Amino acid sequence: MELYYYPAYQLHQRLVKKEIKAEEICRSVFNRVSQVEDKIKAFITLTYEQALAQAKKVDEKIARHEKISPLAGIPVAIKDNICTEGLKTTCASRILENFIPPYNATVINLLNQVDAIIIGKTNLDEFAMGSSTENSAFFTTANPWDLERVPGGSSGGSAAAVAAGETILALGSDTGGSIRQPAAFCGVLGLKPTYGLVSRFGLVAFASSLDQIGPFARNATDLAWLLNVISGHDPLDSTSRPEAPPDYTDFLVNNVRGLRVGVPREYMIEGIDVQVKQVINQALAKLTALGAVVEEVSLLHSKYALPTYYLIAPAEASSNLARYDGVRYGFRADNAVDMIDMFKKTRSQGFGEEVKRRIMLGTYALSAGYYDAYYLKALKVRTLIKQDFEKAFSTFDVLVSPVTPTPAFKIGEKTGDPLQMYMSDICTLAINLAGIPGLSIPAGFVNGLPVGMQLLGKPFSEGTLLQVAYTFEQNTGFHLKKPALKVVSGQEAGQASSLVPEDQ
């Protein structure tokens, strides 16, 4: 097996034993990028020279017999709405096409502190608004399992890069399913942490009460290692939890005996593909065979999650995106006759159709005469949804559902019908509204396409979710499957940097 498909924990073991070098891992990943990136299009920016320089520093530490962290020398891809000092952060939008942040997001500083190797910035739906990565202003990312299908969104670039072996680990962000849905479509693990567990400082805001940064990996152990690094209190984020998180590797135990698992009937209703239901039911049968106690539960108000989310999230987006006006930074339209004309032209030309659609929805919901009827009512329903989960977790340790109603759909299949696109997040939206953790794990396949199972827990119970995920993968093996990608031969790794814009 090539180094780019090794788990991070095995690469660490080999680094410590001096069987390989960090530079070899880095070159292997960039070699893989050179082979498949022209098909996948996961990256907006690659950091070839910078990454190799970081890898050499790790090798020098090892040569000096210094102790290295578990993620030292491990390639990590970063969703391009997470700020990176001196490196373009575009949010896949024309309005920020050439924006270079003067600071790092907290998660980037944390990765740098442990000598992880940042290899590039990944594609996304513009400003994280979308479920397919088709809303990127630059290009559409393809699903490694079927290049005619979407990788999911909005963190589609990160999920696709992990699945295709173009990185070992990745970070994404999740506002309504944007980590879990692409993880499910691409057959990898993706975690939306509890709101407040991971700092949002430096994450370009979409909907501030819903956004969370989270990890992608190909197994539960790697996911726990990455979560250990990025979680914890940050004084720069006022919503950050003050208590120190546990060591998540302590939860990597092959045991679910006696665990109480609830299956929300609202997530197994009509509209969920029959074969997807079969995959989830088979996974539940496996958990039962391993000793878990599985019972049905009701989340009565989850049926209102879709309209509630699409009032709250656009309202917050309308406020957050008001800063992109062509005055302070980012794109500015030419040939404006006055300031108001410049505002209009800048925002009309700089934002894509989906972003403009959500800004208009949010502005309408917040406008005089409609605030109480729409936005305030949505906040009240959000409370009811949160209370449903609290009641369920008084009985159950974990809830299980599909991540998506169907496997990955074809590129272009839903772009003409926004409502159908929004429906693809029907199983994930309520989790963000409630602020609880959600983890997508590979659970099986339908017609050769991955299907994800969603594990939900009470606030800050990420350890329990990881224990279930670890137990499931130790007793199945779906996470070991790899997409069969035809590769381009005869290219050197150095050519990878020419496939996408260079880092600045």
Half-sphere exposure for 107 (CA within 13 Å, toward CB)? 30
Buried-exposed string 220-240: b where 16+ CB fall within 10 A, e elsewhere: bbbbbbbbbbbbbebeebeeb
Tallying the residues shown for the chain, one arrives at: 504
Q: Are 185 and 150 in contact (CB under 8 A)?
A: yes
Question: d(Cα 446, Cα 448) in Å, to the nearest integer?
Answer: 5
Structural tokens at position 81: 């709405």
* 8 A C-beta contact, residue 478 and residue 440: no
User: SS3 for 250-283, per residue?
Assistant: HHCCCCCCCCEEEEEHHHCCCCCCHHHHHHHHHH
CA atoms within 13 A on the CB side of 138: 25
Catalytic-labelled residue, pool 41, 61, 79, 88? 79
Write out the two tokens for 425. 């997040």
Active site residue 79: yes
Long-range contacts of 266-271 (CB under 8 A, 24+ apart): 266/298, 266/299, 266/300, 266/302, 266/303, 267/299, 267/302, 267/401, 267/402, 267/427, 268/401, 268/402, 271/405, 271/423, 271/426
Active site residue 302: no
**What CA–CA distances, in Å, run from 249 to 245, 463, 464, 466?**
12, 8, 11, 9
**What's the CA dihedral at 208, 210, 214, 216 to 10 degrees?**
-130
Give the whole-angstrom CA distance, residue 382 versus residue 433.
6
Taking Cα atoms as reference points, which of 50, 58, 66, 47 lies closest to residue 23? 58
* Per annotation, catalytic residue among 154, 231, 401, 497: 154
Which is catalytic among the residues 28, 34, 132, 178? 178
Q: Which residues contact 31 (CB under 8 A, 6 or more apart)?
A: 4, 491, 492, 493, 496
Angle at 437 between CA 206 and CA 196, to 5 degrees: 55
Residues paired with residue 344 on neighbouring β-strands, in sequence order: none
The secondary structure element, H or E, covering residue 315 is helix 305-320
- Establish how many alpha carbons lie within 13 A of residue 142's alpha carbon, considering only the half-sphere containing its beta carbon: 14
**Residues forming the active site:** 79, 154, 178
